[in-house]
Chains A and B, each alone.
Chain A
Amino acid sequence: MTLEILTPERKLFSGEVYGVQLPGISGSFEVLEKHAPLISALKAGRVKVLKDKQQHFAFFDIQGGFVEVLNNKATVLVEGAVPVESV
């Protein structure tokens, strides 16, 4: 699936990924290949991008935002997000 992380100031991430973990407003959840269409609000927390099936991750700390999943494409809209170096 394709993932895009957008902020008003720039595009933070864009590319093919295996999945992504998001801090949903009613609990953390994961979006994988062929997920059903979804629009959800996100709360402050950490976004974990699963770049492939191996243990390759990228992390972003966000202040809250939204995610839309449609046609195997996930778009995360956040205000104020910072990439986190490996934990």
Chain B
Amino acid sequence: MAGQLKEVRNRIKSVQSTQQITKAMKMVSAAKLRRAQDAIIQMRPYANKLQDMLSNIVSNSEGDVEMKLASERPVEKVLLIAITSDRGLAGAFNTNVIKMTKALINEKYTEQYRKGNVTIWNIGKKGYEHFLKNGYRADATYKDIFLNLTFEGVQKAAQAAMKAFEEKEYDVVEIVYSQFKNAATQRFVTERFLPIPRVEKKEGDNKKANFIFDPSEAELVAELMPKILNTQLYKAVLDSNASEHGARMTAMDKASENANEMLRNLKISYNRARQAAITTELTEIVSGAAALQG
């Protein structure tokens, strides 16, 4: 009897210490989430203005503006940029990104994959480990962006992708990542990175603004395009970062709750065992006393 008591006590202790860890991880994620959200909000004006500027240029220029990065061609070689996280324990976060990437390959790029023409650039360690183990063409050049998350780091990856596209190393580039909605929900999406969709002319007030362009419209667009792409990838990385912390926060919250539930059950069985032990002991004493009297 005493043995069983001790066993339950040990389990209670171990569950309690696990719960402490999950609670702490939840708090850390909450703090990191706030910072990640801030970063998204901070970059929004820049990204919006960049788009505005592009549409202003295109709307104000005569005829079509030629864009090298917009050239559609038959898709033979595919590059996927999969953004996962460096650490696990974030619920289904990484699994979902990986699943989404695989689904994309299976549905859209079956043919290319069969010929071995699908390359995956991984941002974040978890995705890289998975794809490497499962025999995909996984590239780790930009794996460590999250170690030191700056615009410059992301820019390098975006520029490398653009260069590879221009040199026809890849015919299409897509990003798989998780969009941040709120702390509890993420939307896993694939986004076309290259070639870029044509920009439509917009009729409106700015049309008559008669901008002075320096240098010419075409050159401006050519310079603006890479910046927009840099920003697009940066946004995806930031979104993914915020999602990761959100997902981890929810996962750890659930874990703490489950630990509470377990503790409750364990306490009940502990008390039961204790009560049983006392009852047995009492019965022994009473029957012992009765035997002496008899």
Chain B residues with CB under 8 Å of A57's CB are none
- Is A41 a contact of B206 with CB atoms below 8 Å? no
In the complex, B32 has a CB within 8 A of chain A: no
CB contact under 8 A between A8 and B214, given known A68-B56, A79-B151, A79-B227: no
User: A79 CA to B206 CA in the complex, in Å?
Assistant: 25
CB contact under 8 A between A11 and B209, given known A24-B214, A25-B215, A39-B53: no
CB contact under 8 A between A77 and B50, given known A24-B214, A41-B215: yes
Q: Which of A4, A8, A66, A80 is the one whose CB lies under 8 Å from B47? A: A8
User: A21 CA to B214 CA in the complex, in Å?
Assistant: 15
- Is A39 a contact of B43 with CB atoms below 8 Å? no
CB contact under 8 A between A77 and B46, given known A8-B151, A39-B56, A39-B57: yes
In the complex, A26 has a CB within 8 A of chain B: yes
In the complex, B141 has a CB within 8 A of chain A: no
- Is B39 a contact of A39 with CB atoms below 8 Å? no
Chain A residues with CB under 8 Å of B43's CB are 8-10
- Is A77 a contact of B53 with CB atoms below 8 Å? yes
Q: Which of B50, B211, B215, B227 is the one whose CB lies under 8 Å from A38? A: B211
- Count of CB-CB pairs between chains A and B under 8 Å: 80
B110-168 interface with A by 8 A CB criterion:
150-152, 155
- Is A66 a contact of B224 with CB atoms below 8 Å? yes
User: A19 CA to B206 CA in the complex, in Å?
Assistant: 23
In the complex, A1 has a CB within 8 A of chain B: no
B201-247 interface with A by 8 A CB criterion:
206, 209-215, 219-220, 223-224, 227, 230-231, 234
- Closest chain A CB from B202 CB (angstroms): 14
CB contact under 8 A between A6 and B215, given known A68-B53, A79-B151, A79-B230: no
User: A7 CA to B230 CA in the complex, in Å?
Assistant: 12
- Is A6 a contact of B214 with CB atoms below 8 Å? no
User: A64 CA to B45 CA in the complex, in Å?
Assistant: 18
CB contact under 8 A between A41 and B214, given known A77-B50, A77-B53, A79-B151: yes
CB contact under 8 A between A8 and B46, given known A41-B220, A68-B56: yes
Chain A residues with CB under 8 Å of B155's CB are 79
Which chain A residue has the least Cβ–Cβ distance from B46?
Answer: A6
In the complex, A82 has a CB within 8 A of chain B: no
B contact set with A: CB distance below 8 Å: 39, 42-43, 45-47, 49-50, 52-53, 56-57, 150-152, 155, 206, 209-215, 219-220, 223-224, 227, 230-231, 234
What 5 pairs between A and B have smallest CB-CB spacing? A40-B214, A37-B209, A6-B46, A38-B212, A37-B211
A contact set with B: CB distance below 8 Å: 4, 6-11, 24-26, 36-41, 65-66, 68, 70, 75, 77, 79-80
